[in-house]
């Protein structure tokens, strides 16, 4: 008897099927499927580097089992935009220099997207609270908060909301 079971995941709009043991985390599954934009940080839910959107809500993929994501929409930072057509958050981070080493950036952008979808006009405090689960060891968060604020303004503009 196999200890693996097939898991069907919808990642960035594409269906992917693989076989995983029941204890495989979504983080591990995503990385095994080649989604290396989802970073492995602490593996205990403290740093936010592994954040993905699960049905539009930011979750730490290191605390979510892969099978729990079946039938749900998983969005990684790569599913938001591309180099040719960046999401407003991705563009704002690039424009403002909000990323230094960049390791935390995918998780921060995911957390920011989840927050802006719920609160399109966030205050600085709203942004800081929403990003409080994301650890950045390089910055003082000033540029990150500015980038999220700028992106939220762009996303409120009709026709630009993503």
What are the extents of the domains in the chain?
4-78, 88-156
Mean pLDDT of all residues in 136-162 = 88
Model pTM above 0.75: yes
Q: What are phi and psi of 115, to 5 degrees?
A: -65, -45
Right CATH for 88-156 from 3.20.20.60, 1.10.260.30, 3.20.20.80, 1.10.150.120: 1.10.150.120
Mean pLDDT of all residues in 105-129 = 98
pLDDT more than 70, % of the chain: 96
- CATH class name, domain 4-78: alpha beta
């Amino acid at each position: 008897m196999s200890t693996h079971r097939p898991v069907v995941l919808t990642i960035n709009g594409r269906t992917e099927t693989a076989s995983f043991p029941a204890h495989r985390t979504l983080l591990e599954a995503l990385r095994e499927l080649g989604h290396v934009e989802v970073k492995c940080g602490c593996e205990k839910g403290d740093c936010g580097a592994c954040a993905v959107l699960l049905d539009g809500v930011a979750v730490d993929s290191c605390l979510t089992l892969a099978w729990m994501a079946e039938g749900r929409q998983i969005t990684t930072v790569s599913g938001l935009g591309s180099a040719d057509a960046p999401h407003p958050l991705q563009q704002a981070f690039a424009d403002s220099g909000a990323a230094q080493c960049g390791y935390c950036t995918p998780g921060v952008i995911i957390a920011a997207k989840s927050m802006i979808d719920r609160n399109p006009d966030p205050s600085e405090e709203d942004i800081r609270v929403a990003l409080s689960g994301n650890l950045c060891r390089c910055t003082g968060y000033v540029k990150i908060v500015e980038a999220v604020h700028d992106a939220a303004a762009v996303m409120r503009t009709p026709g630009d909301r993503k």
